[in-house]
């Protein structure tokens, strides 16, 4: 549970490194909260009120974020900065600059290339970090492994 809330404690911290466990537990927390909020929205009829056979996609999307559905938008706003920060720190753990995240986001907006960029970012988030200290700090998995007499 500690790793789920650690990105909130390091809200605007874009320096340093983050373990895979921190990144994926925070992602799991986001999935759980959004699923619960979706069940609340669907259970209270927040989405069903805007569904009509003649309604377009914009009307259905608008009904999702009306009434109690606004909770999902508030959650997304609350986790936007910590999500970016933990992803940047995860890239730092791979000894990559945080600016690569911007490249993946921009690449994700390009048709066909976006799929490849998204897969590449997913692979980078799954791969283990560099062993020992790197230019972004000590190894968060084993900080005692640094050479003392180097």
pLDDT value of position 47: 55
Backbone angles phi, psi at 65, to 5 degrees: -105, 30
Q: Check: CB of residue 86 under 8 Å from CB of residue 23.
A: yes
Residue whose C-alpha is closest to residue 22's, from 129, 102, 105: 129
| Rounded Cα–Cα distance for residues 16 and 92 (Å) | 7
Q: HSE on the CB side for 130, CA within 13 Å? A: 17
Say whether 110 sits in a helix, a strand or coil: coil
| Residues 95, 137: Cα–Cα separation, whole Å | 10
Is 76 within 8 Å of 70 (Cβ atoms)?
no
CB atoms < 10 A from the CB of 62, how many? 13
Give me the pLDDT at residue 119, please: 96
Rounded distance between C-alpha atoms, residue 120 and residue 104, angstroms: 8
Integer CA distances (angstroms), 128 to 93, 109, 114, in order = 8, 27, 23
DSSP helix/strand/coil, 78: helix
Which pTM was predicted? 0.82
Q: What is d(CA 29, CA 35) in angstroms, rounded to the nearest whole number? A: 10
Structure tokens at 108: 């994700």
Q: What is the pLDDT along the chain (150 residues), one digit of tens a residue?
A: 888 888 899 989 999 999 999 999 999 999 999 999 888 877 776 555 555 555 566 666 666 666 667 888 889 999 999 999 999 999 999 999 999 999 999 999 999 999 999 999 999 999 999 988 889 988 888 777 655 555
> How many residues would you count in the chain?
150
């Amino acid at each position: 549970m500690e790793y789920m809330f650690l990105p909130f404690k390091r809200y605007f911290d874009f320096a340093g490194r983050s373990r895979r466990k921190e990144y994926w537990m925070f992602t799991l927390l986001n999935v759980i909260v959004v699923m619960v909020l979706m069940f609340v929205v669907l259970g209270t009829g927040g989405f069903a009120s805007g569904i009509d056979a003649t309604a377009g996609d914009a009307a259905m999307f608008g009904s999702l974020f009306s009434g109690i559905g606004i909770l999902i938008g508030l959650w997304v706003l609350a986790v936007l900065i910590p999500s970016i920060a933990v992803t940047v720190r995860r890239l730092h753990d791979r000894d990559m600059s945080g600016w690569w995240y911007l490249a993946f986001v921009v690449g994700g907006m390009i048709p066909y290339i976006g799929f490849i960029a998204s897969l590449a970012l997913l692979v980078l988030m799954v791969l283990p970090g560099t062993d020992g200290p790197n230019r972004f700090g000590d190894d968060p998995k084993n900080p005692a492994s640094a050479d003392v007499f180097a």
